[in-house]
């Protein structure tokens, strides 16, 4: 072989070796095995007497046979689909055991149904159309989103809501003539535009997949994109959303400033949300309410009192994609308000293919490195934030799915205690995030917002821990070993290493 040939062969093999090393380090979440693995929250809230629908999130090769022990008599679990349907039982707490088996193995998992006043006992999870499709959203894209969530495995790790954002109604003016038309019919009912010919058929489609449907409105006369809002038709709209079969409402302040003439007293800020919260509670179905008013009047202090289950703590993340760490640090300041049924919402997970927030353009790859994407998901999980993916589900790549679908990471987000991690600053660029978990374990994020890799130490006293702990890397599903007093790990630039620490000998549900 000539020298030149040998050199190019060497360079080529170095290139491919580095590519495969990159692939190995890039995709952190191991592939799920063929045996069943039951995922999803350990606790689930519903209101007595309302229609009940829950698709038991389960990985593993189909067919899987599902069963349950101690399911209330008003509920039925379909052994083939794993959907629990029926009527929410009388007020009370029902401790159930879910079971799943296929030809590769069997497993079980505890599941508590709490029938009472509180919904969203763990942070809501799903998909929202906004950052993928903006004002191009159609019935077809929403159906495709539901199909994708089933096909790509997102539903098997707990993503549940398929949420329509703005632009499903009519506007007086729009670049798309199919979105222009009467805002309401002769009886005052809000009309969907021609891209949404039959809202009930759409929610039926979503429900038949075991998923739930979300819708969007504003308390003002128009939404942020200039479409019909609910002002002066609130009761009619709440009933309409329930009749159509929606399970979630995002209620976006938008033009409500016109109603209160720009006077943002706490009373004015609360009024439209309290009104909608009361109206939704009067409906015959469970509807989760998301307050979107960008954090005005310290909404975290009163969002739950007015009937909200989550509230955006700041403006649109669409404009702050390069500031994920700062956004998280700001959001985590409101940690004391995070609890079952009441969640601080720092906005959607925007990874994979997302639209350009400034131009509302077609989806294109997000500007994040792999480490930044894993960091995004780690921070949102540690903060017990609602987990809504808002990217193009038709263009999911392996990395995006790998970031979104790690059941051990999601388990941290969905922990029944509902605690948002506390932040412990180590240097201007490094910090720890520490989250207590219901089983007595502790989730710890070693976070590096700096431009260089860093070695970060989590000292046990700083994490509220004492004595020997078994520590697990939850992204890689790998135990790191026993640690007496601290843990030191290398953390990439703009990265988070996420671990969970248990007392030695403690029974772990993994
Ligand atoms: C914004 C909201 C976004 C999106 C948009 C729709 O106010 O924060 O999440 O819903 O309106 O117009």
Distance CA 42, CA 98 (A): 10
Domain membership of residue 239 (yes or no) is yes
66 alpha carbon – ligand 1 mean position (Å): 39
Determine whether the shortest distance from the Cβ of 423 to ligand 1 is under 6 A: no
Indicate which residue's Cα is closest to atom 3 of ligand 1.
316
Residue where a domain stops, chosen among 413, 442, 469: 413
Do residue 146 and residue 232 come from a single domain? yes
Average pLDDT across the chain, whole number = 94
Model pLDDT, residue 246? 99
- Three-state SS for 181? coil
Domain membership of residue 448 (yes or no) is yes
Contact 169, 228 (CB under 8 A): yes
Distance CA 203, CA 170 (A): 19
Do residue 99 and residue 247 come from a single domain? no
Could you give the number of structural domains in the chain?
3
Do residue 72 and residue 130 come from a single domain? no
Domain membership of residue 22 (yes or no) is no
CATH classification of the domain holding 83? 2.60.40.10
Distance CA 284, CA 194 (A): 28
Residue where a domain stops, chosen among 53, 85, 115: 115
Domain membership of residue 80 (yes or no) is yes
Model pLDDT, residue 356? 79
> Taking Cα atoms as reference points, which of 54, 55, 63 lies closest to residue 36?
63
CB neighbour class for 420 (10 Å; exposed up to 12, middle 13-18, buried from 19): buried
Distance CA 459, CA 489 (A): 11
Residues in the chain: 510
Do residue 133 and residue 229 come from a single domain? yes
Work out the number of other CB atoms within 10 angstroms of the CB of residue 166: 22
Model pLDDT, residue 229? 98
CB neighbour class for 263 (10 Å; exposed up to 12, middle 13-18, buried from 19): exposed
Question: Which residue from 127, 128, 130 has its CB within 8 A of the most atoms of ligand 1, so it is best to mutate?
Answer: 130
Distance CA 413, CA 39 (A): 12
Model pLDDT, residue 358? 73
Model pLDDT, residue 362? 87
Omega into 498 within 30° of 0, i.e. cis? Answer: no
> Which runs of E-coded beta strand occur in 271-405?
288-292, 310-312, 343-345, 353-354, 364-365, 387-389
- Three-state SS for 364? strand
229 alpha carbon – ligand 1 mean position (Å): 13
Beta bridge partners of 125: 387
Work out the number of other CB atoms within 10 angstroms of the CB of residue 178: 12
| Range of the structural domain that residue 68 is part of | 37-115
Distance CA 347, CA 388 (A): 8
Model pLDDT, residue 1? 44
Contact 335, 417 (CB under 8 A): no
Determine whether the shortest distance from the Cβ of 130 to ligand 1 is under 6 A: yes
Model pLDDT, residue 360? 78
Calculate the alpha carbon distances from 209 to 240, 244, 396, 480 in Å. Answer: 22, 17, 20, 38
Calculate the alpha carbon distances from 381 to 445, 458, 460, 483, 502 in Å. Answer: 10, 18, 21, 24, 18
Do residue 109 and residue 252 come from a single domain? no
Q: What is the pLDDT along the chain (510 residues), one digit of tens a residue?
A: 444 444 444 444 444 444 433 444 489 999 999 999 999 999 999 999 999 999 999 999 999 999 999 999 999 999 999 999 999 999 999 999 999 999 999 999 999 999 999 999 999 999 999 999 999 999 999 999 999 999 999 999 999 999 999 999 999 999 999 999 999 999 999 999 999 999 999 999 999 999 999 999 999 999 999 999 999 999 999 999 999 999 999 999 999 999 999 999 999 999 999 999 999 999 999 999 999 999 999 999 999 999 999 999 999 987 677 799 999 999 999 999 999 999 999 999 999 999 877 777 889 999 999 999 999 999 999 999 999 999 999 999 999 999 999 999 999 999 999 999 999 999 999 999 999 999 999 999 999 999 999 999 999 999 999 999 999 999 999 999 999 999 999 999 999 999 999 999 877 777
Do residue 400 and residue 439 come from a single domain? no
> Taking Cα atoms as reference points, which of 291, 175, 282, 262 lies closest to residue 227?
175
291 alpha carbon – ligand 1 mean position (Å): 11
Model pLDDT, residue 508? 78
Burial annotation 8-31 (CB, 10 A radius, 16+ → b, else e):
eeeeeeeeeeeeeeeeeebbbbee
Domain membership of residue 20 (yes or no) is no
pTM of the complete model? 0.94
Domain membership of residue 249 (yes or no) is yes
Tokens encoding 14: 């170095």
Do residue 131 and residue 108 come from a single domain? no
pLDDT tens, residue by residue, 81-110: 999 999 999 999 999 999 999 999 999 999
Rg of the chain, C-alpha, whole Å: 23
Active site members: 252, 316
Q: Are strands 212-217 and 65-69 parallel, antiparallel or unpaired?
A: unpaired
Determine whether the shortest distance from the Cβ of 237 to ligand 1 is under 6 A: no
Model pLDDT, residue 18? 40
Domain membership of residue 496 (yes or no) is yes
CATH classification of the domain holding 384? 3.20.20.70
Do residue 164 and residue 221 come from a single domain? yes
């Amino acid at each position: 072989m000539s020298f030149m040939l040998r050199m190019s062969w060497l360079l080529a093999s170095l290139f491919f070796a580095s590519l495969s090393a990159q692939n190995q380090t890039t995709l952190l979440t191991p592939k799920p095995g063929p045996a069943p693995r039951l995922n999803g929250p350990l606790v689930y809230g519903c209101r007595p007497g309302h229609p009940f629908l829950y698709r038991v999130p389960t990985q593993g090769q189909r067919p899987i046979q599902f069963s349950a022990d101690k399911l209330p008599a008003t509920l039925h679990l379909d052994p083939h689909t794993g959907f629990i349907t029926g009527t929410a039982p009388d007020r009370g707490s029902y401790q159930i055991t879910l079971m799943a088996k296929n030809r590769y193995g069997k497993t079980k998992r505890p599941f508590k149904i709490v029938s009472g006043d509180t919904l969203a006992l763990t942070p809501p999870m799903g998909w929202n159309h906004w950052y993928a499709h903006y004002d191009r959203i159609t019935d077809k894209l929403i159906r495709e989103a539901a199909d994708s969530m089933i096909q790509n495995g997102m539903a098997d790790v707990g993503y549940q809501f398929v949420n329509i954002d703005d632009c499903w109604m009519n506007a007086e003016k729009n670049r798309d003539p199919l979105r222009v038309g009467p805002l309401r019919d002769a009886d005052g009912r809000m009309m969907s535009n021609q891209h949404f010919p039959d809202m009930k058929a759409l929610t039926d489609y979503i429900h038949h997949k075991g998923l739930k449907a979300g819708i969007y409105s504003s308390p003002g006369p128009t939404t942020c994109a200039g479409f019909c809002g609910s002002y002066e038709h609130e009761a009619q709209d709440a009933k309409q959303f329930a009749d159509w079969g929606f399970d979630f409402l995002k209620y976006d302040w938008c033009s409500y400033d016109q109603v209160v003439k720009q006077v943002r007293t706490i009373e004015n800020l609360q009024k439209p949300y309290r009104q909608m919260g009361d109206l939704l509670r009067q409906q015959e179905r469970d509807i989760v309410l998301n307050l979107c008013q960008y954090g005005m009047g310290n909404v975290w202090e009163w969002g739950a009192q007015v009937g909200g289950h989550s509230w955006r703590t700041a403006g649109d993340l669409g404009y702050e994609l390069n500031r994920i760490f700062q956004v998280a640090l700001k959001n985590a300041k409101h940690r004391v308000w995070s609890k079952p049924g009441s969640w601080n919402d720092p906005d959607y997970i925007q990874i994979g293919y997302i639209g350009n927030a400034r131009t509302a353009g077609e989806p294109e790859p997000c500007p994040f490195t792999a480490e930044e994407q894993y960091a995004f998901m780690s921070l949102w999980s540690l903060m017990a934030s609602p987990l809504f993916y808002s990217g193009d589900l038709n263009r999911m790549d392996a990395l995006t799915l790998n970031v979104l679908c790690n059941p051990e990471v999601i388990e941290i987000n969905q922990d029944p205690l509902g605690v948002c991690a506390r932040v412990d600053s180590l240097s201007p660029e490094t910090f720890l995030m520490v989250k207590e978990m219901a089983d007595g374990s502790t989730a710890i994020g070693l976070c590096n917002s700096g431009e260089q890799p860093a070695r970060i130490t989590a000292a046990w006293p700083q994490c509220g821990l004492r004595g020997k702990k078994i520590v697990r890397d939850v992204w890689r599903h790998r135990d790191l070993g026993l640690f007496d007093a601290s843990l030191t790990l290398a953390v990439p630039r703009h990265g988070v290493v996420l671990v969970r620490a248990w007392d030695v000998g403690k029974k772990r549900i993994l």
